[in-house]
Structure 1
Amino acid sequence: MKHSILASTLMLTLATPALADDITVGFAIAKSGWMEAYDSPAATAAKIRIDEINAGGGLLGQKVKWVEVDTKTDRAQSAKAGLQVLDEGADMMVVSCDYDFGAPAALAAESAGKNSFFLCAEDVKAGIQGVGPNSFSGSVLAAVQGATMAEWSQAAREAKTGYVLLDTTIEYNKGICTGFDWMFPKAGGEIIGRDTFKNNDASIASQISRIKALPQEPDVIMLCSYIPGAAAAVRQLRAAGITSLILNGSAVDGSYWLDAVPDLSGFVLPVQGSIYGDDPRAEVESFNQAYEATTGARPASQYAYPGYILIDLWAKAVERAGSVEGAAVTAELEKMQGEATAFGPRSFSDMLHHQNSAKMQIIEIADAKPGVVGDWTISEPVPLDVLLK
């Protein structure tokens, strides 16, 4: 009798699939150092989407959990963090916003055959071209931001002449200007001058002198920079009496820096969604409120949004693949063309794991108050050869 019970128990064990482990997302991100200001909001947004997925029954019938290791805004630590979250069972890895600081961790995921997503990197190398075939970014390329400003300024403000002022400190800035340089003349405008500076330059007086020496003030100045250098440049341009419409990329989203430029007007940038409560899409404001409920404050800039988007897209691909295996998920992500998200449609291909076109909300700062003044989608995607310049 005892042998019969043992045999029956063994047969039942063999016939019943073992309970599957939870699906694990590994965050190898900056929780300290200057990158923390970019990584933490986007990571919080990613976790909000994970909680929503779990509340809806999970992914492939399993709960999604997450593990996290601090890269300390250090490239060597980024590689170690990537290996550690893999050791802790990560099925997919989320890495820092910036390509330089996220790539070491992403390369660890690539070597393990896992998918990686940069939280908000906007350099084309944060993907196939720099990491490998299983790496993606949740954000919109910097060149798209510059191209959006170029085309929108001509269509909405009848800009005919433009001046390019490039902060050469990081690749992101160069990407913005690359997109503007490509689209502005293509759309019928003329770039009448260009100059450079560094983000930590105390003064751009010589650059301002060259702008003021032009026969006529440019209609727009494409300022490719980030805070604090962007704020200092804008303050000096306005103090010098230059009234041109100033354009920039998404990196300057948020009102936190406006005290540095009192009563600022005539400043425009593109964003993936508005943090100011005036986005025309109800889903965006719903997210803003969910973020506030989680953290006690609304997002400080649009850079929270890509974290939510990347988990949303990855989870859809996992369900369609029926697996978390890297190559299978990649294949499903690359099929996405105009995939709906709360922040607009997103697309990937086997050539590009970024957005080289996207519907952007246009934010204008007038009398020191930012607000949506419209939206714009560039008339054609930024070509790969332009992105790789």
Structure 2
Amino acid sequence: MKRLALASAFAALAWPAMAEDITIGFAIAKSGWMEAYDTPAATAAKIRIYEINANGGLLGRQIKWVEADTKTDRQQSAKAGLQVIDEGADMMIVSCDYDFGAPAALSAEAEGMVSFFLCAEDVKAGIQGVGPHSFSGSVLAAVQGATMAEWSHARRGARTGYVLLDTTIEYNKGICSGFDWMFPRIDGTEIVGRDTFKNDDASIASQITRIKALPDEPDVIMLCSYIPGAASAVRQIRAAGINSLILNGSAVDGSYWLDATPDLSGFAVPVQGSIYGDDPRPEVEAFNQSYEKATGARPASSYAYPGYVLLDLWAKAVERAGSLDGASVTAELERMQGEPTAFGPRTFTADLHHQNFAEMQIVEITNGKPAVADNWTISQPVPLDVLLK
């Protein structure tokens, strides 16, 4: 039903592009596990397209789109990128994750075309891994880890931390690198241990044994993972009687996985906006309602939001450049310093096409119910050398 509602809401926008239209190419996962991240963010981008078209379009032209399915496969990603270029794309939007979006983005880079990762949070999803015309609509994973380090100390008195890294994808490593950078910088804090696992590991019993062998239970466990591995790890940690405050990144935002961890408490994540109707900024709830109107349901996680942000920023840059030319649009994007968006200000520079500093809402789960508990902005941007580790 959700897919039918979405198709109905956007049917008029999905016609094949004509020469006078501006064409956006979505080379994204419409199948496979990445679809759960790509579809909401792509839907948000299409909502912004609809709004722009309803207000007269961009450069006096309507925006249309074409799509190709990467199938959550790196080889298919490269093919999808080439397909949307062949179908006339003027800019390209690629998958949320660097590993799966980069092959498509590299095909856009070869054409001198601007590309945006829907919600990738690894610094390589940009200049460092693709090239000078590549950007991300999201906030870096390292910022999320650093945010949780500083917030947990300031608000919860955390002095000892344990790092548990899921090494499956680069995003997870970014969360932990941000925590590793920020937490020891705070006076009186210490990382008392660290361990690794894989997302598809059925058991983390040995890792839990090592946590329980510590002289004292750590104040916080920085769990750097995504669903389903994160849910499994949380369930096992709590089943073992470990009551530390568990922290993670935005990838586990949403209540869709909480049936796997009944009555969970003491779990907190940073998000760009709240899907729960309690965000302090009215613009965020206005978007949630627009999303529900388009799809029949509210966003399942905050990963929808970067799609809206990237389309908004790209359109502003195109208007200011008066052109779709990749170099001209890139130059305008790099001039954005604290550019207002519905989800907070955004900045790009000639060295970094990501956000290494941003206000985050802190969502905490208590008795199985997630809600905004606080907001936090890290005291200083995460340096580029930390992002590149």
Same fold (TM over 0.5): yes
* Match in the other structure for 2:370: 370
Q: Secondary structure at the match of 2:173?
A: helix
Aligned partners of 2:201, 2:96: CA distance in 1, in Å? 24
CA contact (8 A) 1:45 1:307 kept: yes
Q: How does 1:1-389 map to 2 (within 5 A)?
A: 21-188=20-187, 189-389=189-389
Give deviations 1:33-68, integer Å, cap 9, x for gaps. 111111111000000000000111111111111111
Could you tell me which runs of 5 or more consecutive residues in structure 1 were left unpaired when the two chains were aligned: 1-18
- Specify the code of the residue in structure 1 equivalent to 2:310: L
Give deviations 1:349-377, integer Å, cap 9, x for gaps. 00000011111000000000000011011
User: How far 1:27 moved relative to its partner?
Assistant: 0.6
Aligned partners of 1:307, 1:243: CA distance in 2, in Å? 36
Out of 63-72 and 38-47, give the one that drifted further: 63-72
Q: Secondary structure at the match of 2:183?
A: helix
CA contact (8 A) 1:144 1:357 kept: yes
Aligned partners of 2:360, 2:113: CA distance in 1, in Å? 30
CA contact (8 A) 1:20 1:62 kept: no
Aligned partners of 1:335, 1:187: CA distance in 2, in Å? 33
- Specify the code of the residue in structure 2 equivalent to 1:70: D
Aligned partners of 2:283, 2:301: CA distance in 1, in Å? 16
Q: Percent identity?
A: 82
Aligned partners of 2:199, 2:31: CA distance in 1, in Å? 22
CA contact (8 A) 1:45 1:304 kept: yes
Aligned partners of 2:248, 2:259: CA distance in 1, in Å? 18
User: How far 1:141 moved relative to its partner?
Assistant: 0.6
- Specify the code of the residue in structure 1 equivalent to 2:299: P
Instruction: Decide whether aligned partners of structure 1 residues 193 and 333 sit closer, same or farther in structure 2, where only a CA change above 3 A counts.
Output: same
User: How far 1:222 moved relative to its partner?
Assistant: 0.4
User: How far 1:229 moved relative to its partner?
Assistant: 0.9
User: How far 1:379 moved relative to its partner?
Assistant: 0.5
Q: Secondary structure at the match of 1:66?
A: strand
Give deviations 1:234-263, integer Å, cap 9, x for gaps. 111111111110000000000011111111
Aligned partners of 1:248, 1:33: CA distance in 2, in Å? 23
Give deviations 1:160-182, integer Å, cap 9, x for gaps. 11111111111111110000000
Instruction: Decide whether aligned partners of structure 1 residues 232 and 20 sit closer, same or farther in structure 2, where only a CA change above 3 A counts.
Output: closer
Aligned partners of 1:75, 1:364: CA distance in 2, in Å? 34
- Specify the code of the residue in structure 2 equivalent to 1:363: V
Aligned partners of 2:160, 2:71: CA distance in 1, in Å? 43
Aligned partners of 2:161, 2:173: CA distance in 1, in Å? 16
CA contact (8 A) 1:168 1:197 kept: yes
Aligned partners of 1:200, 1:182: CA distance in 2, in Å? 27
- Structure 1: 4+ residue segments shifted above 2 A: none
Q: Secondary structure at the match of 1:353?
A: coil
Q: Secondary structure at the match of 1:310?
A: helix
Aligned partners of 1:379, 1:23: CA distance in 2, in Å? 40
Aligned partners of 1:267, 1:73: CA distance in 2, in Å? 29
Q: Secondary structure at the match of 1:140?
A: coil
Could you tell me which runs of 5 or more consecutive residues in structure 2 were left unpaired when the two chains were aligned: 1-17
User: How far 1:20 moved relative to its partner?
Assistant: 7.1
CA contact (8 A) 1:208 1:240 kept: yes
User: How far 1:204 moved relative to its partner?
Assistant: 1.2
Aligned partners of 2:32, 2:236: CA distance in 1, in Å? 29
Aligned partners of 2:107, 2:178: CA distance in 1, in Å? 31
- Specify the code of the residue in structure 2 equivalent to 1:143: A
Q: Secondary structure at the match of 1:78?
A: helix
Aligned partners of 2:134, 2:361: CA distance in 1, in Å? 26
Aligned partners of 2:30, 2:208: CA distance in 1, in Å? 38
Q: Secondary structure at the match of 1:136?
A: strand
Larger Rg, first or second structure (1 or 2): 1
User: How far 1:197 moved relative to its partner?
Assistant: 1.2
Aligned partners of 2:360, 2:295: CA distance in 1, in Å? 26
